Amino acid sequence: MHLGRKSSLTKHQRTHAQRLREEGKSVSEVARILNTSRMTAWRAMNPVQAVS
């Protein structure tokens, strides 16, 4: 069960953002490519790790 707001990026877009980051693109460049805000791009490139 999922609670909260729907993600603005698809799983494919998040993966693409991480790949672009590995290629050396800046957060602003990734945001422009994905047509989203810099904060959303930053979150996609730096996913939160689950605590176990």
d(CA 48, CA 43): 8
Beta strands in 1-52 (DSSP E): none
pLDDT at residue 47 in the model: 78
Q: How many residues are given for the chain?
A: 52
What is the C-alpha separation between 51 and 31, in angstroms, rounded?
28
Per DSSP, the chain holds a count of helices (H) and strands (E) of 3, 0
Give the pLDDT of residue 6: 87
Closest C-alpha among 20, 5, 47 to residue 31: 20
Q: Rounded to two decimals, what is the model's pTM? A: 0.77
pLDDT of residue 48: 76
Span 1-52, pLDDT tens digits: 778 888 889 999 999 999 999 999 999 999 999 999 999 999 998 877 666 6
